[in-house]
Amino acid sequence: MSDLPRKAVTRTAKLAALPLGFAGRATWGLGKRIGGKSAEIVGRELQQRTAEQLFKVLGELKGGAMKFGQALSVFESALPEEIAGPYRAALTKLQEAAPPMPTRTVHSVLAERLGEDWQDLFLEFEDKPSAAASIGQVHRATWHDGREVAVKVQYPGAGEALLSDLNQLSRFARLLGPLIPGMDIKPLIAELRDRVSEELDYGLEAQAQEAHAAEFADDPDVVVPAVVHQREQVLVTEWIDGTPLSTVIAEGTQEQRDRAGQLLARFLFSGPARTGLLHADPHPGNFRLLPDEKNGWRLGVLDFGTVDRLPDGLPTPIGDSLRMTLDGEAEAVYELLCTEGFVKESIDLDPDAVLDYLLPIIEPAQVDEFTFTRGWMRTQAARVADPRSPAHQLGKQLNLPPAYLLIHRVTLSTIGVLCQLGATVRLRDELEEWLPGFLPEQKQAAEA
């Protein structure tokens, strides 16, 4: 029997209790204020209790609820500081840990998937997991040939749990919306739901990781562990040590932050050009910073369960529109957005207004190097979220074509992580090298 709480009624009850809990704490807060406590102190206590309940439930359920929490966590930078503070520790904890499966369940899954003699495949196997995530957990082990490996074991019933959670979360997405100003939660949940079958397929994940490991085998900046063995819901890969990006965010030096930010941008923009695949789950728990004698630090990349397949690399219109926006070509940008479906045929917008909407967002590409900060992210989120602002009204009229949905989420997530790092990054360098159409000569080469 699965130890993952997956019975529909149980999981639904846990998730449904969240909005009721929020309402209850609001009543509790009112009582405290009547009793003499200041609104500021009560507000902080309220936020802390809300964070504790929200992420306790998400972590316990694993499945889609935790997957949603991980996706949400990279946007923590957009929250106003007075709200972000109490949430930050809970979000970081969610990225790196979750309640583990009992040992007997782990052994049962391994026996079922690898055979009753599964222990003969390992010289050593640590029963205590080293990490737990939304659909599986990782155990450190020594493979029979002496290699240190990571053994990823999928939770029994994970697929059912994922779909159940995401369906339930979508029902009260509006309640969760205020967590991230300017972000529509419902499409995010829908997109996560659409990816369920791929993420549950460890065979597909192994293929994506093997492609990256082969391409980056001799790379001076990026380390991708090789796949050692794969059978259904079990994936064995080489082990890599290093400092989790969440730890760098919490306590890293500025040198580590800047290097991690640069390498993260380099990997995510270069990946589609080099492998035809976009790593589509860039939350801090999937990256490690590894010391390197020659270059100082390298970036270790984990978890290829969610990828966007882009055999021709990132779409050239992204580079074209970015370049033309930087050059102030309002009419050309608007025409391209209409052609690509970002502006529906039934809508007529002012090209100059569209340019004004886009320019602040692409500020990091306007300069040789840019320092990503939570303050900058909050300013952008507030500009788009304020119903009184022209940016909010225009943003509501723009459309996101399905082909760009995952690319858009990965880009926003990456920016969120860069802001959490507070990294100074030469983003323009990476765009010039890896983004088709960004440089005029790239556009001419694409047309040739």
- Tell me, yes or no, whether 231 lies in a domain: no
Confidence tier at 344 by pLDDT (50, 70, 90): confident
Phi and psi, residue 64, nearest 5°: -65, -30
- Tell me, yes or no, whether 215 lies in a domain: no
Phi and psi, residue 292, nearest 5°: -140, 125
Spatial CA neighbour of 122 closest among 109, 110, 136: 110
Tokens of 200: 């549950």
- Tell me, yes or no, whether 232 lies in a domain: no
State the total domains in the chain.
Answer: 1
Amino acid present at 447? E
Per-residue pLDDT of 231-289, as tens digits, reads 989 999 999 999 999 899 999 999 999 999 999 999 999 999 999 999 998 888 899 99
> Could you tell me how far CA 73 lies from the centroid of its own chain?
8
pLDDT, position 367: 96
Per-residue pLDDT of 42-87, as tens digits, reads 344 544 555 555 555 555 555 555 566 656 655 566 665 655 555 5
pLDDT, position 205: 94
Helices within 313-448 (DSSP H only): 316-326, 330-340, 351-358, 374-385, 390-397, 402-421, 427-434, 440-447
- Tell me, yes or no, whether 403 lies in a domain: yes
The SS3 assignment for 83 reads helix
Amino acid present at 90? A
Q: Is the Cβ–Cβ distance between 222 and 267 less than 8 Å?
A: yes
Residue 409: which domain range?
243-448
- Tell me, yes or no, whether 303 lies in a domain: yes
pLDDT, position 3: 47
Spatial CA neighbour of 430 closest among 409, 419, 414, 448: 414
CB atoms within 10 A of CB 22: 17
- Tell me, yes or no, whether 166 lies in a domain: no
DSSP 154-177: EPTTHHHHHHHHHHHHHHTHHHHG
DSSP 140: E
- Tell me, yes or no, whether 50 lies in a domain: no
pTM of this prediction? Answer: 0.79
Tokens of 96: 């790196």
